[in-house]
Structure 1
Amino acid sequence: MRYYRTAVDGETKFVVRNDEKAYDLTAARDGLTSFVDLATVAEVEGTTVDEVAEGVIDDAPLLDADAVTDGAAIPAMPDEVWAAGVTYQISSDAREEESGRGEMYQGAFENERPEIFFKATPERTMGPGEAVGIRNDSDWDVPEPELAVVVFGGEIVGYTIGNDMSSRSIEGENPLYLPQAKIYDRCAAIGPCIASPETVGDPNDLEFSMTIERDGETMFDGATSTDQMVRTPEELVSYLTRHNAVPELSVLMTGTSLVPDDFTLEEGDHVSIDIENIGMLENPVVEV
C-alpha cells in the first residue's frame, strides 16, 4: 500500500492507495489523520501499517486515485532528515572527481562504518511540486536521487523517494564544508508517498531513474538500480540509531548512483525522480 497526504475539495486528506483504488482514511476513523497516527497504532498493536489500514479500509470512502496522486503533498513531515554517502562505487568515483581526494571517499565506501550525516530540518524539506534550491554561492549544483527510508520509533516502516540537493563545488573545495554543501534552504525533497515495506519488496533490487528538463529540453536522463548499493537500509538505519536518539519520525536517504557529469542545475530546471514500486517525485528548481 502507498500512503499520501493530498488536497481533496480544499481539504487535506490522509489517503491509502491500494492498486488502482484510493481510500480516505481521514474519514474512516477519528484521529487517523496522518502517517504518524497510522504508525503509532501499528506500534501499539505490534503489527504493520498495512494491517492497520486493512482493518479500517471498509469504512473509508473511495476517492479518485489519479486525483490523489496528482494532488500529493509531502506524505509526512519528518522531524529530521539524514543521509548516507558513498554507498555506490560511482558515488565514490564522483567524489574523487570533484575533490581530488579519492582515497578518503573510497575508504568510506569500503569501511564497515558508513558515512551518515544530517541533511535537513522540516523547514528545509520540500514535498512534491515544491521548489528545491541551489545556492547562490555555488557554481556546481546537482540533484541526487535516492531511495529514502522512513523510520518510526527506530524501525523501518516504509520507503519514499528523496532528492538530496548538493553543492558539489563547495564540498569539492574542502570535505569539511560538507554541511554547507548539503544543508541550506530547500535542500531536500521527499515524496510523493510512503510505500510500505510489503509494497516495495526488496529495497536492494529497485529500478530508478532521473530526468532533468530545461525549457522543454531534456538535459539529463539516466537510470540505475539499487542492486548497485553496497549497504542495506537496515544496516544504514542501525548506524543512524546507534547512540543517537533520533526523533519519533525520521527519514534516511540511502545514497545515489545517478550523478550527472559536467552539468549544473539552473533556476527553472525541473527534476523528476522515479523509483519502482513507489512513484515519481517532481520538483522545480529555484536559486536560494
Structure 2
Amino acid sequence: MNLDENGVWLGRVWDAKAHGPIVVTIRDGYFVDITTKAAPLVRDICEMPHPAAYVSSIEGIAVGTVASIERAAVGDYSQTHILAPCDLQAIKACGVTFANSMVERVIEEQAAGDPQKANAIRDNIGALIGDNLKNVKAGSKDAEQIKAALIKEGLWSQYLEVGIGPDAEVFSKAQTLSAVGHGAEVGLHPISDWNNPEPEVVLTVSSKGKIVGATLGNDVNLRDVEGRSALLLSKAKDNNASCSIGPMIRLFDADFGMDDVGAAELDMTVTGTQDGFVMHGTSSMTEISRAPSDLVQQVIGRHHQYPDGFMLFLGTLFAPTQDRDVPGEGFTHKLGDEVKISSPKLGELCNTVQLSTHCPEWRFGISHLMRNLAQRDLL
C-alpha cells in the first residue's frame, strides 16, 4: 500500500474472528482495530469535529501486520483482509472535469462506442477542442463564447456542456458498501469490448459538507457502452466490483489538506498478464477545470442532503489512446490486467481486472452490517 508514515490513516478490514468489518488505523506496521461502541463505523469518525485527532489518540488492538493482511485473499471471509475504507457513505462521482478527458468523451459520443472510428474523429476535432478548452474556466464568459462557436461548427456535445458549462456532471457511481478495496478484483460488464481504468482522487465528505480526507479510486469505465448513449451511464458505471476505493482514507490534519489534494500527481501502470503489455498513465490534479470544493458544493446543500456523508470521485485527466492490439483501436482491458494507481501522499491502490460476472458477488449490504454490529454489541 506504500502509505506515508506521517499520515493519519483510516480504513476497514474484514475481521475473520469477528465475522464482520472493523475500523482500523495503521501504527508501526500493524493494522490496529479502533472500533468502539461510540464509533463502530468509518462514517461515525468522519462525522466528528476532528477525525484525525480522534484516530491519533484512540486506543486500539493490533489485529495483524499490514504486510500479512495485505497478502490475504480479498473476498475470502475466512481470512482477515482489506476492504474499501468507506462504509455507509454514498459513492458519487464527477465526470468530464479535465479538458483532455472531456475531448475523449466527445470522441466516444461521436464514434457511438466504435473504437475503430475514434482515431479519425480524434484527428478531426480533438486538437481543436483541446486547444480551445484547456485553460477555460467552467461556467465563465469565455466558456459561453466557446460554446457558441462550437454550436456554430456543429461540434457541440452534452459532454462539453458539463465540461465547461455552469453545472458539473455528478452521478451515483456505486451502491453503499459495494466498493471493493486494495487487492481486490475489479469488474468489467461482459457486454463491453472497449474499456479502461480511470485513476482518480476520491474525497471523503461529512454530512455537513466538510471535506475530512482523501484517498484513491478506480472509476472503471466502459467506453463503448457509455459512448452508445449517455443514458447508459448507470449500466456502464455501476456493476459488480466496478468501483475500487483505497487503500485507506488519509485524514486531513496539519500535514495534509486540500492544498495537497489540489497538487496531487497520480501515476498508473497497467500490466497485462496475458500479453505482457504495459501502459503508463498519469493524472495531475493541477489541471482540473473545477475546484474540488466547488464540486462538493454542487453535490450537497439545501437541494440534497447526505446524512451519512459521501465519497466523491473527482474525475481523471487520463484517457488512453495507446494501441494495444489493432492499430487505430486504442487501449482496452484484457482479463488479468493488473492496475496500480499511486500517489506519494495517498499510497497505492492495486487491483486485478476480471468480468463482473466472475468477481465475488456483493452480498454484504447495509442490513447485514447492522445485524453484524448488533450481534457484536456495537449498536
TM range (shorter): 0.7 to 0.9
Partner of 1:166: 221
Contact map agreement 2:268 2:339 (CA 8 A) in 1: yes
Counterpart residue number, 1:37: 44
Other-structure match for 2:355: 287
For residue 279 of structure 1, what is the amino acid of its counterpart? G
Kept after mapping to 1: 8 A contact 2:87/2:177? no
Residue 90 of structure 1 aligns with an amino acid whose one-letter code is: N
Shift of the alpha carbon at 1:13?
4.5
Aligned positions of 1:87-236 closer than 5 A = 87-100=97-110, 103-104=156-157, 105-122=159-176, 124-153=178-207, 154-198=209-253, 199-201=255-257, 202=259, 203-215=261-273, 217-236=276-295
Deviation at 1:65, TM superposition (A): 5.0
Identify unmatched segments of 5+ residues in structure 1. none
Partner of 1:24: 32
My pick for the range that moved more, 258-267 or 65-74, is 65-74
Deviation at 1:64, TM superposition (A): 3.9
Alignment deviations for residues 182-226 of structure 1 (CA, whole Å, 9 cap, x no partner): 122222111110011235432110111111111172431112311
Matched, 1:82 2:142: no
Taking a change above 3 Å as real, the CA distance of residues 69 and 206 of structure 1, as seen in their structure-2 partners, is farther
User: What TM-score, normalized to structure 2?
Assistant: 0.67
Which of these two proteins has the greater Rg computed from alpha carbons? Answer: 2
* Residue 256 (1) aligns with residue 316 (2): yes
Structure having the higher strand fraction is 1
Query: Aligned match of 1:55 in 29, 35, 57?
Result: 57
In structure 2, distance between residues paired with 1:255 and 1:140: 19
How far has the Cα of 1:122 moved from its partner?
2.9
Cα distance in 1, alignment partners of residues 97 and 105 from structure 2: 12
Q: Aligned pairs, how many?
A: 279
Structure 2 gaps, min length 5? 1-7, 72-80, 112-154, 322-329, 357-379
Describe the SS at the equivalent of 2:13: strand
The amino acid that maps onto 1:53 is V
Q: 1:149, CA displacement in angstroms?
A: 0.9
CA contact (8 A) 1:98 1:168 kept: yes
Within the candidate set 11, 23, 32, 1:4 is matched to 11
Q: Matches of 2:40 and 2:264 in 1, distance apart?
A: 30
Q: Is the 8 A contact 1:207 1:223 kept in 2?
A: yes
Residues 114-134 of structure 1: CA deviation (Å, up to 9, x unaligned): 111111103542122221111
Aligned residues of 2:273 and 2:337 also touching (Cα < 8 A): yes
How far residue 266 of structure 1 moved from its aligned partner, in angstroms, is 1.9
Task: Find the aligned partners of 1:54 and 1:187 in 2 and give their Cα distance.
Answer: 32
Match of residue 15 from structure 1: 24
Closer, same or farther: CA 123–77 of 1 in aligned 2, 3 Å: closer
Does the aligned pair in 1 maintain the 2:10–2:55 contact within 8 Å? no
Contact 2:220 2:237 (8 Å CA) reproduced: yes
SS in 1 for 2:34: helix
- CA displacement at 1:146 relative to structure 2: 0.7
- Conserved 8 A contact 1:72-1:193: no
Match of 1:169, SS?
Answer: helix
> Is this contact kept in 1: 2:42–2:87, CA < 8 A?
no
TM-score normalised to structure 1 length: 0.86
Structure 2 distance, partners of 1:185, 1:66, is 27
Q: State the shift of 1:255 in Å.
A: 0.2
Deviation at 1:173, TM superposition (A): 1.4
Q: Distance in 2 between matches of 1:7 and 1:79?
A: 18
Root-mean-square deviation (CA, aligned residues, Å) is 2.5
Distance 1:228 1:142 in 2: 20
- Partner Cα distance (1:279, 1:74) in 2: 14
Q: Give the letter for the 2:291 counterpart.
A: T
Q: Equivalents in 2 of 1:210, 1:173: separation in Å?
A: 27
Q: Which residue identity is paired with 1:241?
A: I
Q: Distance in 2 between matches of 1:81 and 1:100?
A: 29
User: Quick one: distance in 2 between partners of 1:31 and 1:218?
Assistant: 49
